[in-house]
Amino acid sequence: MDKTLKLLLASTNSGKIREYRLLLADLGYEITTLAECGVGKVATEPGNSYEQNARAKAATYAKLSHLVTLADDSGLEVDALGGEPGIYSARFAGKDTTDADRVRALLARLDGIAWERRTARFKCVIAIATVEGQLELCPGECQGMIAFEARGENGFGYDPIFYLPKMDRTMAELTLEIKNKISHRAQASQKVWQALQRLRSLDY
């Protein structure tokens, strides 16, 4: 394993990068990004699950960068839509669309759906890969509801319509500090330290 203790965040999503820098700040690794490493190739998401996509991205970028690499795949699953958009959350409204476009598309699909049927969850799977090919998976999940309209200015993606009943707020109405204690990404990140320790032990 790379002895410089650098950890590459294999994402171009500025929102994810900002959250992960905070979530992983105490790991003892120097966090770097694709842009900072000069890695321009974009890994595809060929799988049919969060696990397969995260695994593929982490492994690809570990080989390209020669660094321990963290990649995730995440999505929103809405029960009334049979679990959609799921792994296609980022492409739900088509290519080259904005977060606002995707929110509008999802709300349109749920038009007329009663509140009690608007249950949903955010899911995240983090994959950590070494240059040598070892890999660890760290899943996380956050339960909620889909609001009838967007609320809040924080976060990104579907955060403005992901309502948390226990907090009486959407994810976008939370501060980043609070979100990073309860989100699907936070739940997965809590398992990253142990995963990194297991990978490091294989190198000694």
Active site residues: 73
Q: What Rg value do the Cα atoms of the chain yield, rounded? A: 17
> Cα 23 to chain center, whole Å?
12
Q: Give the Cβ contact number of residue 36 at 10 Å.
A: 11
Q: Based on the number of CB atoms within 10 Å of its own CB, is 30 exposed (0-12), middle (13-18) or buried (19 or more)?
A: exposed
Q: Based on the number of CB atoms within 10 Å of its own CB, is 184 exposed (0-12), middle (13-18) or buried (19 or more)?
A: buried
Determine the 3-state secondary structure of 196 from DSSP.
Answer: helix
Helices (H), 66-183: 99-109, 176-182
Query: With contact defined as beta carbons under 8 Å apart, do 152 and 103 qualify?
Result: no
Reported as type and span, the H/E element at residue 74 is: strand 68-78
